[in-house]
């Protein structure tokens, strides 16, 4: 299938770019599963923007820089923050029903923010945004949405019928889940918008498909990858043996929720930071982790039951309904929570136009390292990045359309030297092993010895997985496992190279902060 522009990923970044480009071009959007399966639909909190009287761009910029441990690119932060109000207006015009406070939008506050600046749709903002973007994309005749396509590798010069050493990207090979066949998608420009690498970890709030596919494909295509050691752990994921990965939004703390040690009943966050529950996520996550480890707990308590019951139900209707179904009444009792991997702050290096190192390849959203988040993402800046950079990719492609060559003739996917696997257990075993040792050795608190142990295991697994990949036909699980081992290696290598504790990277061997804030950049 040939398009003017190919977009891999059907979340906020991908659909924002698609809607902008579809005004002039034919766009194909690939989704790994269903269109709504990505991380956008899971986002509870909201979108940060300067909208409150008395708030300023400079204040939002400074809050972002402080949370990011000074590692942010200030030009990127300014670019995103200054474009935020316009992005909110576009979403409102698409029909996103943001909560109102009289005639104005209702703004909430989250950890690390100095003002109320989070627009939201109850506690299910991402779902409302996803539905609005999908509806607009489905109604646009210039956009073709193709679900159930698992991207395998980017198409380069070496895949041309006439071999070339060109590093230009011409599209992607993708496995059709329904037919089991690998299909070829080509375009003059390709945008990676396929999310982060949360499923590298045992406990994560990320959707099942967050296996770092875009990061791994870009790395194999010769793109630089940056700051993969900065893996954000959300402080408050529901602890429940039956329900996995249910996030308790940051806004619960923003609206007065407090953290307590269930053993002693002590409110402990003021012991760790003067901002208490409104401290940035990395500080809160480490505090929760420390309380759990010190007292041998399974979880800590997040309590908002001191607020009026109607207030709680009004502000957090989805969380209330979900937990009441599990026998937890949050208007009367605390919520058991644990830290869990939540966001990938590193990724494919891009500039302010969303361009990667590979000609013809753009990227937007969690798959990237744009310079916005630095060493730690400020709450509710993630969806914002998707809208601003999705739009930026589209604008640059349009402005430089005449310089984008037509894709050449591409060889079809070759599976003449492989057979169907008779050892699927290998994939399941390797998957479990990676996620377990990444959680234990490359988690919230790190040491050099733990990282070296993880590196040793990843080296062994990489050889096993590459051997398996070279002998058997691809399946969705095998494609994801190949990417998972790639991004795990990138995370470990990045963590080993940073000899300081900054933002989300906290190591007992180097607890101090270096004088200079320098990005980790890995070159293929």
Which residues are part of the catalytic machinery?
A: 281
Dig out the tokens for 191 from the structure.
């945008």
Please give the C-alpha separations between residue 112 and each of 78, 205, 497, in angstroms, as whole numbers: 17, 20, 27
Beta bridge partners of 150: 175
Q: Return the HEC string of 29-53.
A: EECCCCCCCCCHHHCCCCEECCCCC
Structure tokens at 229: 């050691």
- Select from 47, 35, 39 the least CA-distant residue to 7: 35
SS3 label, residue 68: coil
Residue the block writes with tokens 């207030």: 311
Other Cβ atoms less than 10 A from the Cβ of 466: the count is: 12
Alpha-carbon distance 203 to 198, whole Å?
Answer: 9
Question: Which run of H or E residues covers position 237?
Answer: strand 231-238
How many Å apart are CA 494 and CA 258, to the nearest integer?
A: 34
What is the DSSP track for 455-484? HHHHHHHHHHHHHHHHHB---HHHHHHHHH
* Element containing residue 300 per DSSP (H, E): strand 300-303
Place of tokens 């939002």: 60
**Six-digit token pair at 364?**
């937007």
Spatial CB neighbours of 325, under 8 Å, sequence gap ≥ 6: none
Distance of CA 391 to the CA centre of its chain: 18
Beta strands in 350-446, from DSSP E residues, in sequence order: 361-363, 368-369
CA distance 123 to 488: 31
| DSSP classification of residue 267 | B
Give yes or no for a contact between 199 and 436, defined as CB atoms under 8 angstroms apart: no
With CA atoms as reference, report the closest residue to 371 among 516, 212, 519, 223: 519
């Amino acid at each position: 299938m040939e398009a003017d522009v190919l977009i891999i990923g059907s979340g906020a970044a991908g659909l924002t770019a698609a809607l902008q480009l579809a005004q002039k071009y034919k766009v194909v959007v690939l989704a790994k599963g269903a269109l709504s399966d990505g991380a956008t639909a899971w986002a509870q909190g909201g979108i940060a923007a300067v909208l409150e009287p008395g708030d300023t761009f400079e204040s939002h910029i400074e809050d972002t820089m402080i949370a990011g441990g000074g590692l942010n690119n200030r030009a990127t932060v300014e670019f995103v923050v200054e474009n935020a109000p316009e992005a909110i207006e576009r979403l409102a015009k698409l029909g996103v029903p943001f909560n109102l406070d009289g005639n104005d939008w209702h703004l909430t506050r989250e950890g690390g923010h100095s003002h109320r600046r989070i627009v939201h749709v109850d506690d299910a903002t991402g779902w409302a945004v996803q539905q609005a973007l999908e509806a607009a994309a489905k109604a646009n005749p210039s956009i073709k949405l193709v679900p159930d396509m698992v991207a395998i590798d980017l198409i380069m010069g070496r895949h041309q019928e006439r071999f070339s050493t060109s590093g230009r990207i011409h599209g992607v090979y993708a496995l059709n889940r329904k037919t089991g066949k690998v299909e070829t998608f080509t375009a003059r420009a390709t945008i990676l918008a396929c999310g982060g690498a949360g499923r590298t970890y045992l406990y994560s709030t990320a959707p099942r498909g967050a296996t770092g596919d875009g990061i791994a494909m870009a790395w194999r295509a010769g793109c630089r990858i940056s700051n993969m050691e900065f893996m954000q752990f959300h402080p408050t994921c529901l602890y429940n043996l039956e329900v996995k990965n249910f996030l308790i939004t940051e806004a619960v703390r923003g609206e007065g929720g407090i953290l307590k040690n269930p053993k002693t009943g002590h409110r402990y966050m003021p012991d760790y930071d003067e901002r208490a529950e409104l401290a940035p996520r990395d500080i809160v996550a480490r505090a929760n982790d420390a309380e759990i480890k010190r007292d041998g707990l399974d979880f800590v308590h997040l309590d908002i039951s001191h607020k009026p019951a109607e207030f709680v139900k009004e502000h957090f209707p989805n969380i209330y309904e979900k937990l009441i179904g599990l026998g937890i009444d949050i208007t009367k009792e605390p919520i058991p929570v644990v830290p869990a991997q939540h966001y990938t702050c590193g990724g494919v290096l891009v500039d302010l136009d969303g361009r990667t190192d590979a000609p013809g390849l753009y990227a937007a959203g969690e798959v990237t390292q744009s310079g916005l988040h630095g060493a730690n993402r400020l709450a509710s800046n993630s969806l914002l990045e998707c809208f601003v950079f999705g739009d930026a990719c589209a604008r640059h492609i349009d402005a430089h359309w005449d310089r984008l060559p037509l894709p050449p003739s591409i060889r079809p996917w070759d599976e003449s030297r492989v057979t169907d696997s008779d050892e699927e257990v290998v994939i399941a075993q390797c998957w479990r092993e990676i996620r377990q040792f990444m959680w234990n050795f490359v988690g919230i608190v790190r040491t050099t010895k733990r990282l070296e142990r993880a590196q040793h295991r990843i080296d062994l697994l990489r050889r096993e997985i590459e051997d398996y990949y070279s002998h058997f036909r691809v399946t969705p699980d095998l494609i994801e496992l190949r990417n998972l081992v790639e991004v795990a290696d990138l995370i470990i290598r990045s963590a080993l190279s940073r000899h300081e504790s900054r933002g989300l990277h906290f190591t007992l061997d180097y607890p101090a902060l270096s004088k200079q804030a320098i990005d980790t950049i890995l070159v293929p």
